[in-house]
Amino acid sequence: MISVSNVNKSFGDKHVLKDVSVDIPEGETIAIIGRSGSGKSVLMKHLIGLLSPDSGTVTVDGIDINAITYAELRRVRRNFGVLFQGGALFDSMNSFENVAFPLRTFSEMGEDEIANVVKRCLAMVELEDVGEKLPSELSGGMQKRVALARAVALQPRYIIYDEPTSGLDPETSNTIDELIRNLADQLNVTSIVVTHDMHSVLNIADRAAFIYEGRMHWTGTIDELHRSEDQILKAFVTANEYKIGLS
Amino acid sequence: MIVVKPTLDIILNPLESLGRFSRLLFHAFGAVSELSIYRKNLWEQMVKIGVDSLPIVTMAAGFSGAVTTVQTAYQLVTPLIPRSIIGAIVVPSMILELGAVVTGFILAGRVGARIAAELGTMRVTEQIDALESMGLNSIGYLIVPRVLAGIVMFPVLYVAACFVGIGGGMLIGDLGGFVPAEEFMKGAREFFQPFDPIFGVIKSLVFGFLITSISCFKGYYTQGGAEGVGRSTTQAAVASCVFLLLADLVLAATLL
């Protein structure tokens, strides 16, 4: 379980996260939603200790990740797979090497076994044939799918998705949504999806947490989201529905 | 107040950079114990920094030796000074100064800029965050191999530069009729000091460390997209050259 308690974070004069608290139970898919610049990605980086809060705590399985050594933090991070907004594939490696990288670095597997796992992961994202291709030779959607294959290669307990569908066409977005849902069902991982795409949220999430102007404004299940009378949340959801309606 | 803040910034900004640079080095040295994980990366960097730089370094050193020979001969037109003095000037110049400094400037431009651009791009495209999120020590993985490769390969390049530079000087001296090769080497041997090559190797070790560590620092802490990568790359090359000259002076003043 991941627990964020009363986290504050400022960059210079800008107070980005204001007393943010949220609990993410094991096995759940939670969508952290909010407008661009509301602090979603900053919160996401706190979950794996890429940023430290000015005050407040972030605990993973009961461990306060800001009160441990760097070596211990790195051990905690090995429970996570992260899909970054732009994929963050290593551009000096081809797709196969990208997916094999965490296996070669952290597992005791031999090359044959690694090759099998990589093939399985690439097949899961329906990209069996791109192993030899460099990231620059792949489309944005394909890069994200290879990055997703890399994120799940070590079978993490938590997967964080940072804007998984941003910049993608609706069809590719649906494919990514489907992959996220399948992974959550098949591997029983805890998924944290940072997004402002309500279409995705409705497709994949069990619960949503809405950040507004740096504060955790609302949390609840998707059913509760539909029924909510909160004006700010409704305005955000409606704006998305309007966009979906137009597209 | 309008005057105080910029003045304070002028003092505090370099101090802040020095603090961050020291912290980066501290973390890098802490990661040396995990070098077995980064061994493949170290080998790749040794090839990129050392082997790939060899053609341009030797070419520049060869021309430096040749030009130094021609200019020394031009200044020594009097028959009262033996021609062998040209070798006595060119060889120590290459060993004490030109071999290391010419190599240093080339590496600052070629290697320093490449390192800063590479790490800067990795930073702005979240590749460094990806390494960290996997549980890898990104400083150990990215910086330690580059700095170690610089420290190991720079002396090798320095030695190559000295041999080619001295050879170039001797060849031009002989072919151009300035000084026969035997006399050139006679002068070189007469004034040879055993400490000179040791000093040159010490200098090249320091230069190798400075260029790679400064470039890694600039690249690793890049901010602000493509423009930030460009800024880091320029700063890495300029700062490497400035600190190289400073170190050159300090080492000469303290060791010679």
Lowest mean pLDDT among A55-69, B11-25, B57-71, B129-143: B11-25
**H or E stretch covering A212:** strand A207-212
Best to test chain B binding among A84, A103, A166 (most B CBs inside 10 Å): A84
Each residue's pLDDT tens digit, B124-136? 999 999 999 999 9
Task: Compare CB distances from A88 to B127, B136, B137 and report the shortest one's residue.
Answer: B127
Chain A CB contacts of B136 below 8 Å: 74, 105
User: Is the distance from CB of A160 to CB of A83 less than 8 angstroms?
Assistant: yes
pLDDT number for residue A244 = 52
In Å, how far are A106, A133, B252 from A127, measured between CA atoms?
24, 11, 59
pLDDT number for residue A13 = 87
Residue in B closest to A47 by C-alpha: B133
Distance, CA of B83 to CA of B93 (rounded, Å): 16
State yes or no: pLDDT of A47 exceeds 90.
yes
Lowest mean pLDDT among A171-175, B112-116, B179-183: A171-175
pLDDT number for residue A246 = 43
Nearest CA-CA partner of A79 in A179, A180, A160, A148: A160
pLDDT number for residue B3 = 65
Each residue's pLDDT tens digit, B9-55? 777 788 888 899 998 888 888 777 777 777 888 999 999 999 999 99
User: Is this structure's pTM higher than 0.90?
Assistant: no
State yes or no: pLDDT of A63 exceeds 90.
yes
Best to test chain B binding among A46, A50, A150 (most B CBs inside 10 Å): A50
Distance, CA of A39 to CA of A238 (rounded, Å): 20
Distance, CA of A193 to CA of A204 (rounded, Å): 9
More confident residue, B171 or A226: B171
Q: What are the phi and psi torsion angles at A49 (to 5°)?
A: 75, 20
Q: What tokens appear for B232 in the block?
A: 């880091």
Chain A CB contacts of B129 below 8 Å: 45, 50, 82, 84, 88
Look at B129 and A45 and tell me if their CB atoms are within 8 Å: yes
pLDDT band at A242 (very low <50, low <70, confident <90, very high): low
Chain B CB contacts of A88 below 8 Å: 125-127, 129-130
Task: Compare CB distances from A78 to B127, B129, B135 and report the shortest one's residue.
Answer: B135
State the DSSP string of A24-88. E-TT-EEEEE--TTSSHHHHHHHHTTSS--SEEEEEETTEETTSS-HHHHHHHHTTEEEE-TT--
pLDDT number for residue A55 = 95
User: What is the nearest CA distance from A161 to chain B, expressed in angstroms?
Assistant: 12
B234-245 average pLDDT score: 94
Distance, CA of B20 to CA of A51 (rounded, Å): 16
Q: Report the percentage of chain A scoring pLDDT > 70.
A: 97
Each residue's pLDDT tens digit, A201-235? 988 999 999 999 999 999 999 999 988 889 999 88
Determine the CATH number of domain A1-79+158-233.
3.40.50.300
Task: Compare CB distances from A106 to B126, B133, B135 and report the shortest one's residue.
Answer: B135
Chain B CB contacts of A158 below 8 Å: none
Chain A CB contacts of B34 below 8 Å: none
Question: Would you kindly state where each structural domain of chain A is located, as residue ranges?
Answer: 1-79+158-233, 88-155
pLDDT number for residue B241 = 94
Nearest CA-CA partner of A194 in A88, A52, A85: A85
Lowest mean pLDDT among B10-19, B165-174, B219-228, B242-251: B10-19
Lowest mean pLDDT among A42-51, A168-177, B59-68: A168-177
pLDDT number for residue A241 = 62
State yes or no: pLDDT of A184 exceeds 90.
no
Query: What mean pLDDT is reported for chain A?
Result: 90
B150-179 average pLDDT score: 94
How many residues does the structure list for chain A?
247
User: What is the nearest CA distance from A84 to chain B, expressed in angstroms?
Assistant: 7
Chain B CB contacts of A101 below 8 Å: 134
A157-170 average pLDDT score: 88
Question: Would you kindly state where each structural domain of chain B is located, as residue ranges?
Answer: 4-255
Each residue's pLDDT tens digit, B172-220? 999 998 899 999 999 999 888 999 999 999 999 999 999 999 999 999 9
Distance, CA of B241 to CA of B245 (rounded, Å): 6
Q: Report the percentage of chain B scoring pLDDT > 70.
A: 98
